[in-house]
């Protein structure tokens, strides 16, 4: 998989206007198989280390989430740091970027609950809340039936909305009445397709009603001038940062582009 995946000026403009975009077949079949196997194996290894007797929180019932796999699994690292994904993120956002973190997002069959409408950046310890971007890669087909993503266009311009409590989510219109009348866009994906979305774009995923695991991998990028806000977060907490510090390249590498 080389770095080339040409974007048109219209696609970049659409992303900047809407705060999200769907791109088809960003990964070739052979590379997709290798990535899916690497991520699935890493997730299974880490699940085996979890305490089976521990009761899942309401948030953990939404999906199996394993964060920053690239830093612990050599087989996953080449995909997370791949120039193709980084180049697309750079072109769409118009910024020079660092990796914030990755996250495997697996919705279990019949039990994976809906992911409520929310914006991402409120949960991250970033002083600057704009221009983060996430690639969400379908490792298997993502459909309405098994919990694909939906987005509300233009909501990346709403930077003063309170964060949604993902453990006990509020109704969307209670926290963001500005979204009334804006029609969500649902993005079903074939395996190898992806979406990019701005960290402030409201998005949602339904429950998994299928008989199979819904497997997706997300890579989150932040502008390379992002500084630490002091907000608690398990990834940043390990680096003993002080408010206003930049995120070090040792843990948050600048992305290679093609």
pLDDT of the residue at 166: 79
Instruction: Please check whether residue 222 lies inside any domain of the structure.
Output: yes
Residue whose tokens read 């509020």: 170
Structural domain boundaries, residue 56: 12-237
* Full-model pTM: 0.93
CATH code for the domain in which residue 205 is found: 2.60.120.620
Instruction: Please check whether residue 166 lies inside any domain of the structure.
Output: yes
pLDDT < 50: residue spans in the chain: 58
Instruction: Please check whether residue 257 lies inside any domain of the structure.
Output: no
Instruction: Please check whether residue 242 lies inside any domain of the structure.
Output: no
In the three-class reduction of DSSP (H, G, I as helix; E, B as strand; rest coil), residue 78 is classed as: helix
Residue whose tokens read 């973190």: 101
pLDDT of the residue at 168: 79
Quick: pLDDT tens for 158-175: 998 888 887 777 888 888
Instruction: Please check whether residue 140 lies inside any domain of the structure.
Output: yes
45, two tokens: 């290894």
Instruction: Please check whether residue 246 lies inside any domain of the structure.
Output: no
β-pairing, 214-223 with 185-187?
unpaired
Count CA atoms within 13 Å of residue 237 on its CB side: 4
Instruction: Please check whether residue 248 lies inside any domain of the structure.
Output: no
Q: How many domains does the chain have?
A: 1
pLDDT of the residue at 174: 87
How far apart are the C-alpha atoms of 91 and 138, rounded to whole Å? 21
pLDDT of the residue at 53: 54
Instruction: Please check whether residue 249 lies inside any domain of the structure.
Output: no
């Amino acid at each position: 998989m080389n770095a080339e995946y040409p974007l048109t000026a219209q696609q970049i403009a659409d992303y900047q206007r809407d705060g999200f975009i769907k791109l088809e077949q960003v990964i070739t079949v052979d590379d997709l198989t290798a990535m899916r196997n690497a991520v699935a194996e890493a997730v299974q290894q880490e699940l085996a280390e979890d305490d089976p007797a521990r009761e899942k929180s309401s948030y953990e019932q939404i999906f199996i989430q394993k964060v920053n796999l690239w830093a612990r699994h050599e087989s996953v690292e080449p995909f997370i740091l791949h120039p193709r994904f980084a180049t697309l993120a750079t072109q769409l956002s118009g910024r020079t970027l660092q990796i914030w973190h990755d996250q495997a997002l697996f919705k279990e069959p019949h039990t994976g609950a809906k992911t409520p409408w929310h914006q991402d950046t409120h949960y991250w310890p970033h002083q600057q809340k704009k221009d983060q971007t996430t690639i969400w890669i379908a490792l298997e087909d993502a459909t309405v039936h098994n919990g694909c993503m939906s987005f509300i266009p233009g909501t990346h311009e709403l930077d003063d909305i309170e964060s949604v409590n993902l453990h006990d989510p509020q109704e969307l219109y209670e926290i963001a009445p500005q979204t009334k009348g804006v029609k969500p866009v649902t993005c079903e994906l074939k395996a190898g397709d992806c979406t990019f979305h701005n960290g402030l774009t409201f998005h949602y995923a339904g429950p998994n009603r299928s008989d199979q695991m819904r497997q997706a991998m997300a890579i989150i990028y932040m502008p390379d001038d992002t500084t630490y806000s002091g907000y608690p977060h398990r990834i940043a907490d390990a680096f003993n940062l002080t408010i206003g510090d930049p995120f070090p390249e040792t843990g948050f590498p600048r992305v290679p582009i093609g």
